[in-house]
Amino acid sequence: MSFSNPRPASISVDFGTSHTVATIRRADGRVHQQLFDGSPQLPSAVFMNDEGGPVVGADAVHSGRRKPDRYEPNPKRRIDDAQILLGETEIPVTSVIAAVLSRVARECEQTLGTLGPVTVTVPAAWGPTRRHVVADAATAAGLGTVDLVAEPVAAASYFVETLGANVAPGSGVVVYDLGGGTFDATVLRRATTGFDVLAVDGADDLGGLDFDQALAEHLAATVHPAGMSDAAERWARLTNPTEQAGLRHRTAFIDEVRQAKERLSRSASTELTIPLLDVDVHLTREELEQVCTPLVERTIRVTQGVIRESGLAKEQIAGLFLVGAASRMPLVATLLHRELGIAPSAIEQPELAVSEGGLVAQHTISTPISVPSPALPPQTATPVVAPVPSPVSAPTGQTMRLPHPSAPPMASQPTAHPTTSQPPVHPTASQPTPQAMPGVPPQPYTQPHLAPSPPPGPYPTGPVAPQSGPWIKSKQGVLVLSAAAAVVVIAIAAVVMLPTVLAGRDNDNPSDASGTTQSDDATEAGAEATEDDTDGSAGTGDEDGPVPLAEAVQGDLVATMASQHVGAITQVEVAQLDGANVVLTGGEDAIVRIWDPADGKLIDDYRGHEGPITSLGVVTESGGRVAVFSSDGTTDDTWYLDDPGTPVADRDSLYDSIYWYGLWDGTPAYATDYEVKQLFTGNVITDISTSYGEGLQLADVGGTLRAVTYYENRVVVTDLATGEPVGGTFDQLAYDILALAAGQAAGKSLAVTVTGEGTIQAWDLATAEPYGQPAQELYQTVNALRVIEIDGKAVVLASGDKGLSLFDLATGAQIGESFAEHTTDDAITAVEVTEIDGHQVVVTGATLGEVEVWSL
């Protein structure tokens, strides 16, 4: 007997300024995003190729970097233009948008077989002319006659119908939608048949792109590279390019700025490289907030205006919902709460809310009759230009976070604790995906794959919505009690360690006010030449100079390079020269130096560059000779390690980010985001696809080179040929990943992640399962990881804002104490691991140009 379900699958498409998202609800009720090149977000970019056909998505972004004149990154912003010029061809705006929607139609049809009813979301403020353009484009793309749903209605429906937010009929909600290119604020009232729009306003020239532009202008006004006489000319080429090369550099610059902005939503500071100037810049969240506060305050004034226009009193508003990718900036929630007195409701993936809400929204805009669209400008109010206020040092926003649809029910979640929360108990270690659960009632899922559940461990769970109960069990109560407990612990530690501090001073070896000593084992192993820890966590190992390698224990400084770089170290690599391990360092002084790590002596150097070294890699050819690739972002050079005075190849740089060096079918090569290139010529050997997420690493998984990336809190392994995920995904609980490393250790292909909460977790890439127990780094904020092996054990080397730490990946335990102490002013900028006479060491480069070797 065969069974069939006559109800077709439905599709909801959020055509956004920067990205387009399509959510599918299958006939059995399962909900998931359509993946494009392995990601739920399809770049809404269009590129016109040599054959005169449009290319959409990640491939368009890649091609647009090389030929920006043929590239339109944000078609939605061009909705009022009759034609868009791509190269030498003028294309109707309807056709450009149709190219994006056609990609959606094609991918969804491959997933479902046939297309069912389709909903497309549009801004609530759009008039019939703009809606005509979208409807015509959808029809031309093969989506048929679509229903148009107002974006805020879809968003409110998602929060209420899918996430279960409590909004009684008659109550109002505010939808704050800050996307890539536009901002909309809408007040809606919940009715028995959905939501009615009471007031809407927004700005077509205000979104994540404008935050990027403001940050870029801030950098142009504040960064003045020392010793660069033509800096003003280079800035002009970056900010107002007139030729093809300048357009490429500007695209790369804006991309750097955007990624830095996103990183500052997760951490307090970050680094970015400015192309053409070839300088690295340290950027803080405080700077970002000073730059972006006027823009956010402009959105708040618009929001206050629509609330007033709606006629609703503050007590009648049941929710303030944040949607759009740019709304995840912490400053947004902080200022909204301060100015409106309403705690915003945030979700993990605000960029998916509108698309998912389109599936459940009951109020749709009538689809315009499909006729040729005149694309005349709609009647919209001119936005008021806000005065620029003085910078505000904003407190942390009190944001009420709603649970993810795939999270367990609220009642089953444990009380959160700052450091020792126990995660919910999962029924099995290998939870089936929704597709493998035919007998389960339909449930909404927002992740493309469900990852195996991580093992129970002492790591924090994700944020949950506030729950009623005694104050002592509330989040505020727990935080207050935890803070009090921390004060007591610090006081006891100070009393216990006071004799040690005094003893250190008596021996003319002062420590700072928190001073404690290193472990007894370390003291006994190097009593005459080891460090006296200044705070009980990080040992410098250099108070009495380097320790002889034969006597060194973990954390001892064993060598300092004889002559330092001028300026920061930007790159560190290791290689073999005449059978011995050597260290290569590149710096801001445009020099690549070759060192003997055993004694710190300079062997040789390469001086073929004019700017800071941005890339440095080594490849051992089949005959054993080592080739070196170095770049300053302007020129790419290849030379041999045994003859650095004779460059073999010197060519203009395309400002590629390089993620891998090695032999590709026996040919020396390196890999960028999208191509594998010959090391000496730069010619393309083959195209690859690595567009899924961030933190790209290439790693050997089961004998095949794979791309390993992360997307928010998820690690994904993808096939380089297709860009499609292989195996499963790995979820780092509910916290976003800050850093990722991949490598071989203990006979396994491992990836290691660290979150903003300091949780470190390893993943077995071959079996798609967590590896070992999670570790917790509480001493410092980690910004880089490296997978290594020590005595046959898989270990992670964590580099942070205070130094280095080692953790056993099998047990989660820290190995020894933190070491290689460095301050913010002289932070570690690059690390590499090598051996000296069978003794493992780590080489560090720092901001002030010093290169040091530490015992592992």
CATH label of the domain that carries residue 120: 3.30.420.40
Full domain range(s) for residue 81: 10-207+290-375+390-401
Report the pLDDT averaged over residues 23-42. Answer: 89
Place 739 in a pLDDT band, splitting at 50, 70 and 90. confident
**Distance separating alpha carbons of residues 319 and 657, to the nearest angstrom:** 43
Quickly state the pLDDT bin for 435 (edges 50, 70, 90): very low
Confidence of residue 255 (pLDDT cuts 50, 70, 90): confident
The two structure tokens encoding residue 252: 């790369």
**Beta strand 317-323 with 782-790: parallel, antiparallel or unpaired?**
unpaired
Question: Lowest mean pLDDT: which of 90-104, 249-263, 368-382?
Answer: 368-382
Q: Any idea how long the chain is?
A: 856
Is residue 594 a contact partner of residue 584, using CB atoms and an 8 Å limit? yes
Given a cut of 90, whether residue 493 has pLDDT beyond it is: no
Sequence-separated (6 or more) residues with CB below 8 Å from residue 784:
739, 741, 798, 799, 831
How sure is the predictor about 364, in pLDDT bands with cuts at 50, 70 and 90? low
**694-708 mean pLDDT:** 87
For the ranges 382-396, 544-558, 695-709, which has the lowest average pLDDT? Answer: 382-396
Q: How confident is the model at residue 731 (pLDDT cuts 50, 70, 90)?
A: low
Most confident of the following: 51-60, 422-431, 725-734 = 51-60
Strand blocks (E) in 116-260: 118-122, 147-150, 172-178, 183-191, 194-203
**Cβ-contact 120, 111 below 8 angstroms:** no
Whether 202 is in a domain gets the answer: yes
Contact indicator for 631, 653 with CB cutoff of 8 Å: yes
Pairing of strands 580-587, 592-595: antiparallel
Residue 74 CA to residue 17 CA, distance in Å, equals 5
| pLDDT exceeds cutoff 70 at 580 | yes
User: Which band of pLDDT confidence, cut at 50, 70 and 90, is reported for residue 56?
Assistant: very high
Domain assignment of residue 452, yes or no = no
Rounded Cα gap, residues 586 and 261, in angstroms: 26
Residue 733's pLDDT is what? 58
pLDDT of amino acid 690: 79
Residue 53 forms part of a structural domain = yes
264 DSSP assignment: T
Q: DSSP assignment, residue 76?
A: G
Tokens 């005459």 found at: 528
Q: Tell me the sheet residues that pair with 784.
A: 799
pLDDT at residue 528 is higher than 70: no
Q: Going by C-beta distance under 8 Å and a sequence separation of 6 or more, which residues neighbour residue 453? A: 426, 428, 429, 430, 431
The per-residue pLDDT of the chain, averaged, comes to 77
Summarised one tens digit per residue, pLDDT across range 302-320 is 999 999 999 999 889 999 9
Question: Residues 758, 764, 765, 768: what is their CA dihedral angle, to the nearest 10 degrees?
Answer: -100
Residue 657: how many other CB atoms lie within 10 Å: 14
Higher pLDDT, 576 or 495: 576
Q: What is the rounded CA–CA span in Å between residue 340 and residue 606?
A: 59
Q: Tokens 């974006």 belong to which residue?
A: 151
Helices 208-222 and 231-239, interaxial angle, to 10°? 170
pLDDT of 709: 86
Burial of 363: CB neighbours in 10 Å, binned 0-12, 13-18, 19+:
middle
pLDDT (0 to 100) of residue 841: 92
Which pLDDT score is estimated for 383? Answer: 33
Q: What's the CA gap between 91 and 398, in Å, rounded? A: 47
SS (H, E, C) 122-157: ECCCCCHHHHHHHHHHHHHCCCCCCEEEEHHHHHHH
pLDDT at 57: 92
What band does 482 get if pLDDT is binned at 50, 70 and 90?
very low
Tell me which DSSP letter residue 435 carries: G
- Bridge partners (DSSP) of residue 283 are 270
Q: What is the pLDDT of residue 732?
A: 59
Give 211's Cβ-side CA count (13 Å radius): 33
Burial 290-313 (b: 16+ CB within 10 A, else e): bbbbbbbbbbbebbeebbeebebe
Q: Residue range 389-402: average pLDDT?
A: 37
The arrangement of strands across the sheet holding 660-664 comes to 660-664, 667-671, 675-678, 684-687
Residue carrying the six token digits 């004779």: 646
pLDDT value for 66: 78
Give the per-residue pLDDT at 329. Answer: 86
Report which of residues 369 and 128 the model is more confident about: 128
Residue 129: closest CA among 63, 80, 177: 80
Average pLDDT over residues 677-698: 85
In degrees, rounded to 5, the angle at the alpha carbon of residue 195 between the alpha carbons of residues 193 and 198 is 135
- Establish if 674 belongs to a structural domain: no
567 versus 65: the higher-pLDDT residue is 567
Angle among Cα 406, 407, 411 to the nearest 5 degrees reads 140
Residue 701 within a domain: no
In this predicted structure, the answer to whether residue 98 has a pLDDT above a threshold of 50 is yes
Confidence bin at 844 (pLDDT 50/70/90): very high
Phi, psi of 84, rounded to the nearest 5 degrees: -125, 130
- pLDDT of 842: 93
pLDDT attached to residue 61: 87
Confidence of residue 43 (pLDDT cuts 50, 70, 90): very high
- pLDDT of residue 532 exceeding 60, the answer is no
pLDDT for 606 equals 94
- DSSP letter, residue 725: B
Give the residue among 619, 697, 701 at the shortest CA–CA distance from 661.
619
Q: Tell which wins on pLDDT, 856 or 278.
A: 856
* Confidence bin at 692 (pLDDT 50/70/90): low
* pLDDT of 393 above 60: no
CA dihedral 323, 328, 332, 337 (to 10 degrees): 70
Tell whether the model's pLDDT for residue 469 goes beyond 90: no
Mean pLDDT in residue range 372-389: 34
- The identity of residue 450, as a single letter, is L
**8 Cβ contact partners less than 8 Å away, ≥ 6 residues apart:** 27, 114, 115, 116, 117
Tokens (6 digits) for 729: 């995904």
Reported as a single tens digit per residue, the pLDDT across 629-651 is: 999 888 899 999 999 988 898 88
- Whether 333 is in a domain gets the answer yes
Q: Which residue has the higher pLDDT, 432 or 555?
A: 555
Q: What pLDDT was estimated at residue 268?
A: 83
How many structural domains does the chain have?
A: 1
- When comparing pLDDT for 398 and 567, which is higher? 567
Question: Contact, 533 vs 516, CB < 8 A?
Answer: yes
First and final C-alpha spacing in the chain: 66
In a domain, 623, yes or no: no
CA distances to 150, 306, 320, 699 from 353, in Å? 13, 21, 14, 33
Give residue 727's region: left, alpha or beta (phi > 0; psi -120 to 50).
left
* Residue that has been written with the tokens 């048929």 in this structure: 144
Decide if 651 is inside a domain. Answer: no
Q: CA–CA distance from 228 to each of 223, 277, 609, 632, 793 (Å)?
A: 11, 9, 14, 15, 48
Q: Which run of H or E residues covers position 498?
A: helix 475-506
Candidate from 154-168, 464-478, 820-834 with smallest mean pLDDT:
464-478
> Residue 339 burial (CB < 10 Å; 0-12/13-18/19+)?
middle
